[in-house]
Amino acid sequence: MATPPSLSCTSPCSRIHEFVVLYKRAWKVVYRSKQLLLTNFLEAVIVGTLLGTIYINAGYGEAGAQKRLGLFAFTLTFLLTSTMVFLPYLLAVALLYSSSFAPDYIAGMSLVSVSLAGFFLFSGYFLSRESTPVYWVFMHYASPYKYALDAMLANEYSCAANRCFGVAGAGEECSETGRDVLAARGLTAEERWTGVQVLFGFFLLYRVLYWVVLSRRASRAKR
């Protein structure tokens, strides 16, 4: 009886040769999409430089260490936003107008990701307004996340103004109430509605800009 043929298949090329072929193909892909590589490289360099200027006044004490933990958390968040599509509710479509300023889709989406990450950084969650350098304060007030955070805090702690959130000393004396939390951020109970109104204004502004950019592009395409 004839023996069945062997089902094992072997490659005529060695492992090293296969590695070299895959290496060359990888570099060909990089060369063909060199614009994407350059965009990601410039994005990393610019963001790293800006983060250095933002946290230059963080200090070296315990408070500075806590702020640097915020920097670490923001860096992880930025990396996550670079690897997945992260667009906030209601502002998702509105912020896409900025992609039309770029010559192509890749550069436009990179611009959107960097803009969202920058707004998130200056919201006051990672770095307070007092710790922000003077030349970056305008970004704190230009961030839509800042008003969303203020509205959330005002809504949360104004309803618990007399509730104790911190105990100090052996006598378990209350050291921080909801009213103290609001005072530390300079907020009042009315700020929750102010934040919602400002967010709605941002939504309308982005809608108008989105319409202007699309109208201009459509008119230029007809020519």
Arithmetic mean of pLDDT, 89-114:
56
From the number of C-beta atoms within 10 Å of its C-beta (0-12, 13-18, 19+), residue 54 rates as buried
Q: Which of the 8 DSSP states describes residue 60? A: S
Residue 7 inside a domain? The answer is no
If one counts the domains in the chain, the total is 1
- Quote the pTM value: 0.51
Residue 200 inside a domain? The answer is yes
Residue 17 inside a domain? The answer is no
The model's confidence at residue 89, banded by pLDDT at 50, 70 and 90, is very low
Question: Whole-angstrom Cα distance, residue 119 to residue 114?
Answer: 9
What does 101-143 look like in DSSP terms, one character per residue?
Answer: GSSSHHHHHHHHHHHHHHHHHTTSSSS-TTTS-GGGHHHHHH-
Closest listed residue to residue 118, CA positions, set 81, 68, 64, 154: 81
Residue 113 inside a domain? The answer is yes
Does 91 or 50 have the greater pLDDT score? 50
Residue 12 inside a domain? The answer is no
Residue 57 inside a domain? The answer is yes
- The residue range of the domain holding 58 is 22-222
Residue 13 inside a domain? The answer is no
Residue with tokens 């895959």: 22
Residue 104 inside a domain? The answer is yes
